[in-house]
Amino acid sequence: MTQRIAVIGGGENAEHDVSLATARAVAGALRSGGFGVDDLIIGRDGVWRRGADALGSRAAGSLAAALSVIERADVVFPAVHGPSGEDGTLAALCALTHTPMVGSDLRAGAIGMDKWATKLVAEAVGIHTAPGRLVTAAESADVEFKTDVVVKPVSAGSSFGVALAHDASQLRDALRDAARFDDRLLVEDVVTGREIDVAVLREADGRRWAAPPLEIHADGLFDTRSKYDGSARFSVPADLGDADRAALTAAALRMFDALGCAGVARIDFFLTDHGPVLNEVNTMPGMTAESQVPRMFAVAGLPYEHLVVRLVAAATVPGPPTRA
């Protein structure tokens, strides 16, 4: 009997278009693999659609209609990046409906999406992060400039709202821009090092392993523009010595486990003279065939379509185990 997969894309945040690209690619790979696919799209206004057909005129009614599609699905593949998706929102929906889902549960998604909380977890398990401080948008006018810093919204993806500040004027502008995406802001010291990503996959049998790391080559900050305008270059596998590769892989697996991730996650580091420094964690990274994570697994001998199928095979109902 053909398995039916509900692939959810879109979302109500700045990563809407990126999420649609991931959802289209995932759905195409699943159809090529013989799966039945239902395409569910969350509009920027919160209204759900099934393919091109709106499921209602308002968010609540359309969600109720979408639940009937989810009810018939064997597995949900949430491909919504960012807030109200990757942050555990869709994992909570799957938990409430007792539907097997690809990827991390609510707890891992929520903590991984929160860059400040992620830093606290990393430091607790012995992984270095950039020195930084948390401020609210209301407090941003009082932040003093001391050195070159990177400003980030605490909960946003695709580097939206991320900027480098070299002086007090740039810092004010960066804080103002970041506040468009979140009212909690992270101000971090600049870390000098190579930008290295590590992808970790948890298989259906619980085994987790890391693909060969990827290095990002960008002219300056790897921001939203350089991520999508083709100016950044990727080397995979990254040119690393055995000791650095082992240190990065070990740190990625430790972070994956500390957050309780499932499915696939991308763990981003700066490789410095003193070892890996965690940048951030993505529990629902970009998943087109050209995205960083599939590129890493392709080098490991796992083609894109096979990676997507393996993710579906590892799907579980999120939340605590059922007890008698």
CB of 184 within 8 A of CB of 134? yes
Nearest to 37 by CA among 2, 62, 85: 2
Active-site residue, 280 included = yes
Active-site residue, 62 included = no
User: Catalytic one among 9, 10, 263, 286?
Assistant: 286
User: Catalytic one among 9, 11, 12, 15?
Assistant: 15
- How many Å apart are CA 108 and CA 127, to the nearest integer? 17
Which of the 8 DSSP states describes residue 97?
Answer: H
Nearest to 308 by CA among 283, 278, 287, 281: 287
Active-site residue, 282 included = yes
User: Catalytic one among 19, 158, 159, 291?
Assistant: 158
- How many Å apart are CA 160 and CA 141, to the nearest integer? 20
Both tokens assigned to 215: 């290095």
Active-site residue, 4 included = no
Active-site residue, 158 included = yes
CB of 257 within 8 A of CB of 124? no
CB of 261 within 8 A of CB of 288? no
User: Catalytic one among 38, 49, 280, 295?
Assistant: 280
* Other beta carbons less than 10 A from residue 194's beta carbon: 17
User: Catalytic one among 74, 176, 215, 228?
Assistant: 228
Q: Give the amino acid at 308.
A: V
Active-site residue, 286 included = yes
User: Catalytic one among 282, 291, 295, 304?
Assistant: 282
User: Catalytic one among 39, 86, 105, 268?
Assistant: 268
Active site residue ranges: 15, 158, 228, 266, 268, 280, 282, 286
